[in-house]
Chains A and B, each alone.
Chain A
């Protein structure tokens, strides 16, 4: 038995890191909206799904001009996907901004944080079912091309070039975003608004602009997460819904508002899911995020890296 664990462990870790990097990208977007807009946004999962589907639609619609998904070396995608991703990002951002304009902005003015959560819970179900209506209930893939997984560590780990690329891109994005928040004026304005909106406004920060920036930034990261999942696995209407608990778990585990925290939280949740599927019971994959969440809420509700030191 011990031998078996040792033999499967490298692959479990690889799968966990891959799943974790998608969760991390989603959780970074969630933690930013959570800290600045101050409510648990259940629609974030659906932004991930919609971003993926928007990109897929753009890819199909633009094929006459961009000639399909493209091909870079051993990867299954190339410039074509980058162009389509640009369209997908715009689509998801417009969706997020429209939701804010039509629903959340009014409720922010009149209601309390909890009314926002009810509204986002309702909107998330509506958005998910809109995917079923538009695209159908079946899963779809970006490419039908078969990829041979490369063997590493003497054959113990099998990873496709796509998966490696996604892992690297996710890490680069997290680093870039941390730098952005720390050193740019917009990033500082965002952190100030998260800390204290009233004080931020008094000091001359355009908080409405910050709110829009947060929605767009969240939508960009969500689209990337959706497309990364679409490339390495597939797109399903329930994709965003199934990610909700892992996303919240990762964001709260990392400490709301902390980008490195969400990244690490995402990796931890991804590894936990991967280990649970391999060693415990594959049917309970979606409950793993919840167990991590309960554990962190009981032991340390402020998360590993609380936003303020």
Chain B
């Protein structure tokens, strides 16, 4: 029993940390740069499929299965999501916030449709299976392997976290926050706002692609239903709960929301008869939705919130810069 629980906990943590990587990517886009991406699931899917096609065994009926090393798959997934984001961002980042939200939402829907329909590339509704796991031959039991993979995952999260912390605490991070707070002011100081936003968007999406590759390798099997908009919704709930603009908050939010989601899932499974399980599972989404709304209403900066970006000595006089939502009263819905 205790062993079962430990096995489950390892499995839980691997997936929670997978979400943490997604959440860190979104934090770079929204938390630090103020880019409203509702297409997280799409970039996650690009990373997962690219890695699966690069590392998977040859498939007679479809392109790929190149049997390449896992590391190449992960790099490929990261790169593919980043390049896709460059294209998407180039076309949409000049749009206002809410149009960006709608278009990124549409991109995620379209990517999911491609995954579902282009059987020659993605395997269609059946997806891609038998995606190899690194060093799988070295371990005798699945539990042992998962423990190893958890270590690998922790290293990955630590790497992404460390890299992002270095970036956002340096000059580039200050520039991104300046763009987020006041685009016009940043531009008037000679900063190339458009390019910087595009780089932040692509880098954040590349991190989401890396999370996708990590996910595909761990699961060993991917299908279009792993990349529904509910993933985007979960990651947003994680970031808002943890506190956007704070990388530690992003990781904490991922673990908490995934914990809540899993507990709700287990409860539904235990309490409801089999024929009501699908209906009960829907309640998980409702629960996370209520949490998201509650945080937005009661504590918009999340559990951790953004650290003060000014000297502590000026605290008495300065007003804290809070959520990345302090854009000046946005104008009417059309470009007026």
Contact = CB atoms under 8 A, between A and B. Distances in A.
Given A125-B229, A284-B117, A306-B334, A112 B237 contact: no
A213 interface: no
A38 B335 CA distance: 12
Contacts of A136: 278-279
A248 B102 contact: yes
Contacts of A248: 102
Contact of B292 (A114, A122, A293): A122
Contacts of B106: 245, 287, 289-290, 293-294
A287 B98 contact: no
Interface string A121-143: 11101111110111011000000
Given A111-B300, A118-B236, A301 B332 contact: no
Interface residues of A, number: 59
B98 A117 contact: yes
A243 to B, nearest CB: 12
A215 interface: no
Interface in B90-109: 91-92, 95, 97-99, 101-103, 105-107, 109
Q: Is the interface of B mostly helix, strand, loop or mixed?
A: helix
Contacts of A133: 279-280, 282-283, 286
Interface stretch (A78-86, A102-110, A153-161, A180-188): A102-110
B334 A121 contact: no
Contacts of B293: 102-103, 119, 122-123, 126
Nearest to B298: A106
B290 interface: yes
Contact of A114 (B105, B107, B325): B325
Contacts of B92: 297
A129 B296 contact: no
A34 interface: yes
A291 to B, nearest CB: 8
B297 A38 contact: no
A114 B98 contact: yes
A73 B197 CA distance: 60
A279 to B, nearest CB: 16
A301 B278 CA distance: 41
A303 B334 contact: yes
Contact of B113 (A128, A284, A302): A284
B6 interface: no
A7 B102 CA distance: 36
Interface range, B side: 35 or more
Contact of A121 (B116, B117, B236, B288): B236
Nearest to A247: B102
Contacts of B102: 40, 245, 248, 252, 293
Given A121-B233, A287-B110, A112 B332 contact: no
A244 B117 contact: no
Nearest to B101: A117
B285 interface: yes
A55 to B, nearest CB: 21
Contacts of A194: 332
A257 B286 contact: no
A113 interface: yes
Interface in B287-303: 288-290, 292-293, 296-297, 300
A124 B105 CA distance: 13
B314 interface: no
Interface of A: 34-35, 38-40, 42, 102-103, 106-107, 110-115, 117-119, 121-123, 125-130, 132-134, 136-137, 194, 241, 244-245, 248, 252, 255-257, 281, 283-284, 286-287, 289-290, 293-294, 297-298, 301-303, 306-308
Question: Which 9 A-B residue pairs are closest in the complex by CB-CB distance?
Answer: A126-B289, A290-B106, A132-B282, A129-B282, A129-B285, A283-B117, A40-B98, A122-B292, A256-B333
Interface of B: 36, 38, 91-92, 95, 97-99, 101-103, 105-107, 109-110, 113, 116-117, 229-230, 233, 236-237, 240, 278-280, 282-286, 288-290, 292-293, 296-297, 300, 323, 325-327, 329-330, 332-336
